Amino acid sequence: RMPAPFSNVVRENMSNPVEVSTTNGQSWSISWVVEEEHPHRIVFIGGWRAFYEHYHLRIGNTMLFSYHQPKFFNVAIHDTRYCEINYGRNLRNGSLPAIPAHGNYTVQFFAIIPVNDPDTL
């Protein structure tokens, strides 16, 4: 579940699904909904379970999300000691993933989110 202050600001302009790029260069298309019990939170659903399983996430891991409106997130995954997990680079020259040059994609917000559930975030 995304923190309410983050959700309140981004959900009006955020595309659905969003593209989530990890520091190893892989991209994932993940859909989201507004949580019924807490209407001020958005929750990643479609595609989240595959992402969770692919990266062997565990409860206690954390993720640093940077949001590039309207449709891109970059994410760094950290273990329970808050050290970034290195999944290996999947890009030329080991460079970080680039935000597409077309459109107006700017870093708007950062959020540190604990991993709690394999079915939703």
- pLDDT by 10s per residue, the chain, length 121: 777 877 887 778 888 999 998 888 889 999 999 888 877 888 888 898 899 888 888 888 888 888 887 788 888 888 877 778 877 655 444 444 444 443 444 444 556 666 776 666 5
Q: What is the pLDDT of residue 92?
A: 45
Q: What is the pLDDT of residue 112?
A: 64
| Angstrom distance (rounded) from CA 3 to CA 81 | 21
| Angstrom distance (rounded) from CA 32 to CA 34 | 7
Which residues share a beta bridge with 65? 75, 111
Predicted model pTM:
0.71
Q: What is the pLDDT of residue 107?
A: 43
